[in-house]
Structure 1
Amino acid sequence: MPEGGISMSTRPKRIFVSVSTFILVCILTDPARAQGPPASTVEKIVVSYPSRSITSFPILETARQKGFFQKEGLNASIIYVRGGIDIKALITGDIDYAAASTTAITAFVAGVPVRLVMSYNAHVDQVLFAQPKYRSLAQLKGQPIGSLNPGGLVDTLLRRILMQGGLQPERDVVILNMGGTPERYAALRSGSVAAVMLSAPHSFRAEKEGFYKIAAAVDYVDVPGTGIAVRADRVKKQPGQIKRFIRASLRAIEYIRENRSEMTQMIAHEFGMDQEIAALAYKQLLELLSPDGRHRMDGLQLIVDIARAAQKVNRQISAPQLVDEAPLEEVLREPGWLR
């Protein structure tokens, strides 16, 4: 081995140690672990979210701040873990629950043993914003449009919007892979593209700054957003804990719906938004929230098919194979949940 080099047998170990160490540091420095009942009376769990967005973070943070996890005997550490790494950490046991959907579906199609146990968002949050001079899809013909990785959810939603608007994505526009929402938002502001796909809060900022809202993905193709993923064997080994996690999440969702002023303040504080944008973000969150935690199988199937096509998987895979809602259904049958 060359001096100072890393052998192939050593590199995976170092990568694994790095991911595990990062997660351990997040857990040890999380103030939530210093709160709540004595350690002997609670179960410690680690929950990850892939981005600080309105789709999942407010639910998890509300469950933590309002003590819903603690009331269920769970001492939850809520940490950021980038999408993709979160599923790997889920499988290795470094985290217990992951707020994810697309990454979990992609992993499942590739053969990774994961399951979705509840839905946080019934719909996805993606909007096509354009420079002020463009007022319709037809006017975008021949123009560059910022998207994410080809074959991914954002790119697929964009292509569906264009096709239903009478444009052929491969012929009539130039689709550019520009990275995440902040990068696409920056490209729109710089004028280097005619339009981009955005999600909140950048979508609200774009509208406030005068960019034109061409289309909302939910009006063209309706797929679900974030769900909660677990390792497949956890459903059988720890169904009671999963039910307590679901119960805390449902209480958080209910609290968000019923406390507009407080939640608007929380969004403004946590996301660094002004009150006007925070109010818009709260309204958007209400529209995204799942009514009962159940998954919309038709929308999930579309994402499964997208992942199959991207990975060139020929075997048939149905969305119900990915979902295990038995713990959720047991919770919903408890008094007070079915409305």
Structure 2
Amino acid sequence: MRRAIGLLFLSMLIIAMFAPQAAAQKGQLVVGFSAYSAAFMPAFVADRSGYFSQEGLSVKLIFFQSGVQLAQSLISGDTQIGMGSAPELITAVNAGVKMRAVWGISNKMPYALISRPQIRTINELKGKKIAVSSRGSLSEFLAAYVLKSKGLDPQRDVTYLPIGGVPTRFAAVQSGSVDASLISAAHFEKARQSGLNLLLMLEDIIPEWPLDIIYLREDFLTSREAEFKAYLKAYRQGVATSKKNPDAAIAGLRHSLRFDQSLAKEGYHAYVSSLPDDGRIAEKGLELTVDQMFESGTIKKRFSMKELIDYRYIWEAQKK
């Protein structure tokens, strides 16, 4: 797996070196999301409320099946702003890509490990199949961390099947085609109603986590910083509106994620309190991610926080 991930990001780096950022008209931004997650509600609210257009931006929101796919699109220049998780950023930086996180989206550990009804403990997953979004993704990293914390060998004791986002993985566990997977908070009640087992709430072992971050290529900031600042201003308005107006946020989730009313409400309440006003990134969780990826051989060194985070915009927000 480590060799495959390394080769993938090496190819991505070559693309980045020889294919400059795709040309885009000023004010036009493609924003990519690594998952169908309620944590991204501020962006959906900003889009539906017209905050982006008020800042002179034409923003296109694109969903990817995994963070790895999002990172590929950022590196090629097809996407300018990434809304995703830390492992793909770290892997890209490890491959030599000039990319950094600039803002924290959600500091929450919202995942649970679920299983088929016949599997009642984590130890019973030995020899079983675990669904993940893609190899090297956040879902695989967290599943491996859970297994290791409970005494299993995450590389030898289970088989990982890359099949896509949470809805697809949830359905696979329901059908019995896989034995377990991670799901997000918006799906907890549905899992209980379906008779699936919630083997572990990950917040019990990882209380604070940089669930999602905004990250982008450094050359984008160099050439188009004014547009990013305009995007961030509108996004922060989306954060404020999400907290003050639940109905607007729930409507945004229903529109952008195609959630029904019940799922949108559950997703809203699961994530809204985790949205930082000042963009703070949960660094302890990020350091844990770096440590685990280094120990597994996925990355070649333990990167410092300054190598992964551009603090300028967070510090500016905290001063205000």
Q: TM-score range by the shorter chain?
A: 0.7 to 0.9
Residue 120 of structure 1: SS of its match in structure 2? strand
Question: Highest relative contact order (Cα 8 Å, sep 6+), 1 or 2?
Answer: 2
Unaligned runs of 5+ in 2: 1-13
In structure 1, the residue matched to 2:130 is: 146
Aligned to 1:48, which of 18, 29, 32? 32
Q: Which amino acid aligns with 2:218?
A: A
Aligned to 2:50, which of 57, 67, 70? 67
Tell which structure's C-alpha radius of gyration is larger: 1
Quick check: 1:125–1:288 contact (8 Å CA) kept in 2?
no
Aligned to 1:329, which of 309, 315, 318? 315
1:295: how far off?
Answer: 1.1
Q: Which amino acid aligns with 1:84?
A: V
**Map 1:1-339 → 2, pairs under 5 A:** 43-56=27-40, 58-81=41-64, 83-101=67-85, 102-137=87-122, 140=124, 142=126, 144-148=128-132, 152-165=137-150, 167=152, 169=154, 174-180=158-164, 181-199=166-184, 201-221=186-206, 222-309=208-295, 312-334=298-320
Structure 1 segments of 4+ aligned residues over 6 angstroms from their partners? none
Q: TM-score scaled to structure 1, two decimals? A: 0.74
Residue 103 of structure 2: SS of its match in structure 1? strand
Q: Which amino acid aligns with 2:27?
A: E
Note closer, same or farther for the CA distance 1:134–1:317 as it changes in structure 2 (3 Å cut). same
Note closer, same or farther for the CA distance 1:54–1:251 as it changes in structure 2 (3 Å cut). same
CA RMSD of aligned residues (A): 3.3
Bigger mean CA deviation after superposition, 192-201 or 65-74: 192-201
Q: Which amino acid aligns with 2:44?
A: E
Quick check: 2:125–2:179 contact (8 Å CA) kept in 1?
no
Quick check: 1:87–1:107 contact (8 Å CA) kept in 2?
yes
1:237: how far off?
Answer: 4.3
Quick check: 2:30–2:81 contact (8 Å CA) kept in 1?
yes
Q: Distance in 1 between matches of 2:254 and 2:75?
A: 34
Q: Distance in 1 between matches of 2:135 and 2:59?
A: 35
Deviations 1:135-188 (A, max 9, x none): 4445x36462414356543233223323434555467x5343343234432331
Q: Distance in 2 between matches of 1:231 and 1:239?
A: 11
Q: Which amino acid aligns with 1:191?
A: G
Q: Distance in 2 between matches of 1:176 and 1:285?
A: 27
Q: TM-score scaled to structure 2, two decimals? A: 0.78
Residue 38 of structure 2: SS of its match in structure 1? coil
Q: Distance in 1 between matches of 2:125 and 2:217?
A: 44
Note closer, same or farther for the CA distance 1:239–1:183 as it changes in structure 2 (3 Å cut). closer
Q: Distance in 1 between matches of 2:176 and 2:69?
A: 33
Note closer, same or farther for the CA distance 1:270–1:251 as it changes in structure 2 (3 Å cut). same
Note closer, same or farther for the CA distance 1:287–1:129 as it changes in structure 2 (3 Å cut). farther
1:290: how far off?
Answer: 3.1
Q: Calculate percent identity across the aligned residue pairs.
A: 26
